Structure 1
């Protein structure tokens, strides 16, 4: 009776008219859910606070509620689900304090030292699995082969023998081991669970559904984890679920802490409504999200004809919401996606956030395939034209529209899942991606999976250090395998010639890419692949990889700057309607199977007369010009051109060389430096020419001294003066003192030749080369 009276009094106090503080609820990790939720007597959990704010809204639904988290880490036992009755709500940290919402469970253990420096601790039987282990706030390494190597390009270390029968023989209990591998063509990756061993000694695997272009595992780039016998390096751990034992190998001379944490939840907050009953006006602000499990085995659902499958989840999952914001939050090493905006959503914004080392994608906007007319789900799948719905646009509203990702720093994502992106867009409309800094990712920084339904605006982004672990991709990548698209080119040619309107059935609105700066060293800076259509691309700086247009329609590319690379038109349609004009290119065009050069390719600026004439032989660029573009300050990244530049006479117009990436200074300070090109490669032909390339110093051969030192009969070739141990150039196959003489079947006389051959072909990898090494010609294959 007394408890009821006290609760009633607290509620009366909370609802007393004129008391604005009653619309605030305070939480603290040291709080108590029986407290009233004041600053002095805070509650402890979000779930208990949810009951309180629902009571407040029931009294005054017109007044918003603010939940204020005081300093500390919150460990919810279950995901907080916000429904339509939770609208007009802000969850935020107390000003100046750090509030962490962690999906990890704390655990106290007692360690006993064992052989080989490995400690063991018993774990309560209620703990049935561990996916990620934390000590002193740091993620530890699940026992693996090969061992973790922070300098390795792929998966922090891979080996061809990771699944060899000889290695498997050394494992007593391989069941439950986890296999990660790149796709055979390096289009993303695969993940498997070992379920047993067959009579030939090979692992029996379950999984591999994480890629929508099935071709099998990469022969070299694979590794295995969660095997007890592979626990042999500092910071590695293994959990024996049957024996309830945890094993850990600390650094030499150290003892593991008794307080540990292990990941438990896949989602921390879910905002879930519907189109008819959306969740409205929810803001998550100044919060940190961490400690979620990896979700790679849940990544099963194929997207429309792209190379992706997805898991519709994330540390924060938003579905059926309107006018909701996730702002200034820190997503710290989430196991899967950081933020997933799923199906029907309108005006959902993610802004000012820092997304660091997400296991999968940073931010994803993905609609429901039931909103798509005549959907097809794999590259070779096709709905026959006779059975196709030719109604333009979506079938219903179950997709994100008018949403945005702005002013975020997204870095080092795709830690586990390589078919991922900084920002992913699929089956959505009018998504704005603006002022984001996105860098160090295994695949694209920004990816659009298909044309449904266009109207996106990508502007003022800084995207670099991309496609670091995969291939045939770009800093920006898109596919356009929409309704019109057919895997048989002749069938598609006939259909689009008969009715050009079918190419815009799904790509209804023009997607604009403007005022961005992109860099990709293992593919293209801008890559419009397989039928991508209805794009307007202008005022972008491409720092290294150039721009590719493949098999699409109605792309206008104008007033862009393509440094140390060029324009890559691939297998165009006869009636593509493409336009390429007023651009600055710094190498010859690189066409592949182009019979008709679109509606207009003209009034561009080339680096020299030879490149211009090579284009004019194909019937393009009658009014284009060539020469030194006269960049204002190439070394410091100002690629505007000086008055009097021939580029201006060709129709190029200067645009601002700043305003790329997040405008929030605290986030800019956390970003890695942008690798600006040190020199314009097309001008590296003189004897003094020297460049820094993938960590190596490369120069032209100069004089008898260098001829004598290398043993060359002449002064031809690209001389690798120094190739530091561990540099990317060394990993590709070069050694100090090498002189590159031939690449991809073409002679290399100097740096200019080398880069002119390498740059447009970097996406292919495994280029055949001839180097002069130890006084003789040696054939090598350059890996990526």
Structure 2
């Protein structure tokens, strides 16, 4: 026997059986289901290939040729599709060709003709859903008032009179229209369908269930859509269900007769339908693009325990009862609801290397079964009486997601419909790893933990910025801890924690680790642990703007974090919280609210100036903390490691890596937007001529005779406004050459005063006093304009 033959036999003997028996079925939009599914003669449908895969043992790959695969119903994986370990069923593309799975239908046989005032019309064949219109791959807008404006912070433009009787009187048949609004306190949003107009000329509405804190619509931040009379600008459309006529206002340059029109018809594209007893196992989906699903905002009704969230349990890719299943290197965009949803029992699943953008709601959700929760409550003001609380730790059943991984995903432009959303949402789940993701341009949190059930999450090396863009009182990372022990009455809650401390850890049975992340929130906190959030380890995080907030909760250890241009915000702690805050760098004095006892340890921290440190001493904290100039290696490039010899090292602070945040794959790195690094402001390096950004204005200390003369000021005090960017938050109340004398009821004599006053404004109306044209003016600023 020659050597080559012996080697060949050895390879065969050592090679796994599954590798030798791997089968591939091919699918093409130009194929036929009567074909054998070979590379030369592919099937036409994915379902045909899937039915053949069920009959084929060993590893099977379904390969899609490039093209669009339009679905009238979801592709469903059941336990019949499950595979043994090492014999994965894979749905993928052919040699990196762009295979698109779409829930939209192409609009054919359109006979466009001019209607009037720039609007065109065409009849529509068949019974189609018109919830969204996509033209040449771009999402268009339902006819709306006010018209969409990309420069508006909230909802693409709002008007307080959008639902007024006087405005409604101009509409002939508003039934089927929608009212969209922010929550009264900017804690998410509400949506309503218009059922008609009552005898008083007011709209009859149905809805308003999309937020678990039902306090009504914001009086100003609201708009209406799907109203024919509001079709008055380019890219808007309206579909008349009775006459089956589509009206569209094309933009300049669009050839309406050659443009490609499509409309989504389904909400899910892929479904995994298994159970704990009979799961769907070992199925991978790789290299596929998913697009065009229906909006789901009116189906978003289920409260997620006592968090502010309600949820629609669904997504373009929907997992229920999946084990060892993976979604990798896929693109998900132009989806009306959630992109990916893990519902109830799921184990050891992974989403990695995906590009997720232009999503109507959340990107990735993990949501378990409320019946797995012991002593659950479902609204902020609900609670279980103390004697009735189940005192057994942890979940009641296994019907929840656990031990899953979200890794190396680029996630942006979320919540174009639903504002109570997140890049990653965790509720009633355990031990989810969220690592090396880049998340930005979201209306609320980048990552949200709705309650403590059941902890164990590791959230690390993420890059999260441009968050809380269309809401308030929130953070880039946000959590609530309204677990079974929590009570809405603070006095009762204090008593419970004092006398029944063991209750605080019954749900969050494993610590939640938040480490090595970079976060920037310009409209709230970088890290916001709210309402009882407990059992957290928070370390080695770089906070670029919003600082760290800890509201009531227990057993939080916060150490070795850097807070640029902000500080630590402790709010209403318990007497026996056991909280620890040490070895951290803050850029200004702490901002406590309702704090009488400062936890187990608040010490060995680094302050920017002696005044801030003395304030801490006066409260009885930070006996061993220090102050001094902080010199970072290259802050303009994002390297906030301290230079050698820094006084911070004497407290036990240690530098940590600054080059490992966010996505790691080269493809996604090239596509990702980069966070804007702030100019570091500290008392020791701030000079009288320094100009900094403040809410979109360029401001400086008023410190020269020429500046005093030009403004008419009586003395060298206040902060001079040098320039105001159009459309910025500052443009609402500031002009060039103004002098800011007071902000948020704090006297402003210099830049540091202004920055510290700004830190204390979170989600509330505030006051500014300015000197303009030799007169003082007092102005009120709404939360939405405090950017």
Output the CA distance in 2 between the equivalents of 1:18 and 1:596: 62
Give the Å deviation of 1:684.
6.1
Q: Is the 8 A contact 1:586 1:682 kept in 2?
A: no
Q: Does residue 768 in structure 1 map to residue 767 in structure 2?
A: yes
**C-alpha deviation, 1:21, in angstroms:** 8.6
Q: How far has the Cα of 1:212 moved from its partner? A: 0.2
Contact 1:234-1:250 within 8 A present in 2 as well: yes
Is residue 68 of structure 1 aligned with residue 67 of structure 2? no
In the other structure, the counterpart of 1:11 is none
Does 1:48 find its partner at 2:48? yes
1:5 match: none
Instruction: Report the CA distance between 1:246 and its aligned residue.
Output: 0.4
Q: Deviations over 1:518-572 (max 9, x none)?
A: 1111110000000000000000000000100001000000000011111111000
What does the per-residue CA deviation read over 1:247-276, in whole Å, with 9 as the maximum and x for residues that have no partner?
001124644245411011100000110001
1-structure distance, mates of 2:726, 2:440: 24
Where does 1:347-426 land on structure 2 (aligned, <5 Å)?
347-426=348-427
What is the TM-score of this pair, normalised by structure 2? Answer: 0.95
Structure 2 distance, partners of 1:197, 1:737, is 49
Aligned-pair distance for 1:119? 0.7
| CA distance in structure 1 between the partners assigned to 2:359 and 2:503 by the alignment | 38
d(CA) in 2 for partners of 1:719 and 1:536?
42
CA shift for structure 1 position 727: 2.6
Structure 2 counterpart of 1:261: 262
User: Which residue number in structure 2 is paired with residue 503 of structure 1?
Assistant: 504
Question: What is the 5 A alignment of 1:612-651?
Answer: 612-651=613-652
* Residue number in structure 1 paired with 2:700: 699
2:315/2:337 contact within 8 Å kept: yes
Number of the residue aligned with 2:179: 179
TM-score normalised over the length of structure 1: 0.95
Equivalence for 2:776 = 777
Deviation at 1:389, TM superposition (A): 1.0
CA contact (8 A) 2:89 2:284 kept: yes
Distance 1:253 1:563, change over 3 A: closer
Instruction: Give the corresponding residue for 1:734.
Output: 734
Structure 1 residue 685: Cα displacement: 4.1
Superposed displacement of residue 19, structure 1: 11
Q: Tell me how large the CA RMSD over aligned residues is.
A: 1.4
Question: 1: distance between equivalents of 2:326 and 2:726?
Answer: 47
2:167 partner SS: helix
Aligned-pair distance for 1:693? Answer: 3.1
Residues 90-109 of structure 1: pairs in structure 2 closer than 5 A: 90-108=90-108, 109=110
Q: Helix, strand or coil: the match of 2:760?
A: helix
Q: Following the alignment from structure 2 to structure 1, what is the Cα–Cα distance between the partners of residues 568 and 55?
A: 61
Contact kept in structure 2, 1:587 and 1:606, CA below 8 Å: yes
| Alpha carbons of structure 1 residues 616 and 584: separation in structure 2 relative to 1, 3 Å | same
**CA contact 2:50–2:62 (8 Å) conserved in 1:** no
- Alignment-derived partner of residue 82 in structure 1: 77
Does the Cα contact within 8 Å between 1:411 and 1:441 map onto a contact in 2?
yes
Aligned match of 2:710: 709
1:131 to partner: Cα distance: 0.5
> 1: distance between equivalents of 2:776 and 2:685?
24
Match of 1:119 in 2: 120
Task: Determine the structure 1 residue equivalent to 2:749.
Answer: 749
The superposition leaves residues 633-675 of structure 1 with CA deviations (integer Å, 9 ceiling, x where unpaired) of 2222211112221110011111111100000122122222201
SS in 2 for 1:780: strand
Partner Cα distance (1:49, 1:719) in 2: 69
- Distance of 2:153 and 2:689 partners within structure 1: 32
Q: Distance in 2 between matches of 1:679 and 1:18?
A: 57
- State whether residues 360 and 414 of structure 1, in contact with CA within 8 Å, keep that contact through their aligned partners in structure 2: yes
Quick check: 2:26–2:37 contact (8 Å CA) kept in 1?
yes
The gaps in structure 1 that reach 5 residues or longer are 1-16
* Cα drift, residue 20 of structure 1: 6.3
What CA distance in whole angstroms lies between the structure 1 residues aligned with 2:232 and 2:731? 28
Mean CA deviation greater in 745-754 or 774-783 = 774-783
Query: What is the CA–CA distance in structure 2 between the aligned matches of 1:150 and 1:564, rounded to whole Å?
Result: 28
Q: Deviations over 1:432-485 (max 9, x none)?
A: 000000001100000000000001000000000100110000000000000110
The equivalent of 1:229 in structure 2 is 229
Aligned residues between the structures: 760
Post-superposition Cα deviations, 1:19-67, rounded to whole Å, max 9, x if no partner, equal: 96971111111111111111111111112222121122xxx2xx11111
Aligned to 2:344: 343
Compute the displacement of 1:683 (Å): 4.5
Please list the CA deviations of residues 751-771 of structure 1 after superposition, one character each: whole Å capped at 9, or x if unmatched.
11111110232x224220011
Maintained 8 Å contact 1:326/1:349 = yes
Quick check: 1:358–1:412 contact (8 Å CA) kept in 2? yes
Q: Secondary structure at the match of 1:113?
A: strand
SS of match in other structure, 2:611: helix
In the other structure, the counterpart of 1:196 is 196
Kept in 1: contact 2:365–2:425 (CA 8 A): yes
Contact kept, 8 Å, 1:371 with 1:394, in 2: the verdict is yes
Distance 2:533 2:123 in 1: 55
* Bigger mean CA offset, 17-26 vs 144-153: 17-26
Unaligned runs of 5+ in 2: 1-16, 83-87
Task: Mark the CA change 1:694 to 1:18 in structure 2 (over 3 Å): closer, same or farther.
Answer: closer
Quote the Cα distance in structure 2 between the aligned partners of 1:19 and 1:382: 55
Deviation larger for 690-699 or 503-512: 690-699
Counterpart CA distance in 2 for 1:682 and 1:325 is 50
Counterpart of 2:28 in structure 1 is: 28
Q: Separation in 2 of the partners of 1:656 and 1:715?
A: 43
Q: Residue 231 of structure 1 contacts residue 238 of structure 1 at CA under 8 Å; is this kept in 2? A: yes
Please list the CA deviations of residues 322-350 of structure 1 after superposition, one character each: whole Å capped at 9, or x if unmatched: 10101111111210100001100101111
**Is the CA contact 1:135–1:257 (under 8 Å) kept in the aligned structure 2?**
no
Query: Equivalent residue for 1:214?
Result: 214
- Give the C-alpha shift of residue 682 in structure 1: 4.1
Which secondary structure state, in structure 2, belongs to the residue aligned with residue 357 of structure 1? strand
Aligned to 1:164: 164
Indicate yes or no: 2:567 matched with 1:566: yes
User: Does the residue aligned with 1:119 lie in a helix, a strand or coil?
Assistant: strand
Distance 1:524 1:333 in 2: 29
* Structure 1 contact 68–94 (Cα < 8 Å) conserved: yes
Q: Tell me the equivalent position of 1:599.
A: 600
Q: Following the alignment from structure 1 to structure 2, what is the Cα–Cα distance between the partners of residues 353 and 19? A: 26
Q: Report the CA distance between 1:199 and its aligned residue.
A: 1.6
**CA contact under 8 A between 2:21 and 2:59: conserved in structure 1?**
no
